[in-house]
Copies of this chain bind each other. A is one copy, B any other.
């Protein structure tokens, strides 16, 4: 079978390796939430974790390392006691703001949050 590059418009229009890679980086579990927290100012490990319920330190650690490897996040160790580590978005990371904002708007328009009040815990609703 002949490999068609540039001749199968249907295919090349529908599949884009750049988009695919982007969606695999940003779409990984928790990444979207981490990016949103960081775009809103969270920069320390504990701060990011605090901002995202149910995110474990194990997962946060792993995602941050991946985002660092992708050049989206920079890790800066401040030699204080106790050690202080700051995570900052690079330009590449900051430019994801448009994606996060678009998804944010969509979620405001289309997502209904279920009000799950369970005995003294947290209630989320009424936007």
**Which A residues are closer than 8 A to B by beta carbons?**
1, 3, 5, 10-11, 13-24, 26-29, 31-33, 36-37, 40-42, 50-53, 92, 95-96, 98-99, 101-111, 113, 117, 120-124, 126-127
Contacts and interface: CB of A to CB of B under 8 A. Distances in A.
B110 A103 contact: no
Given A36-B14, A124-B17, A103 B50 contact: no
A71 to B, nearest CB: 8
A5 B126 CA distance: 10
Contact of A33 (B20, B113, B122): B20
B103 A22 contact: yes
A109 B21 CA distance: 13
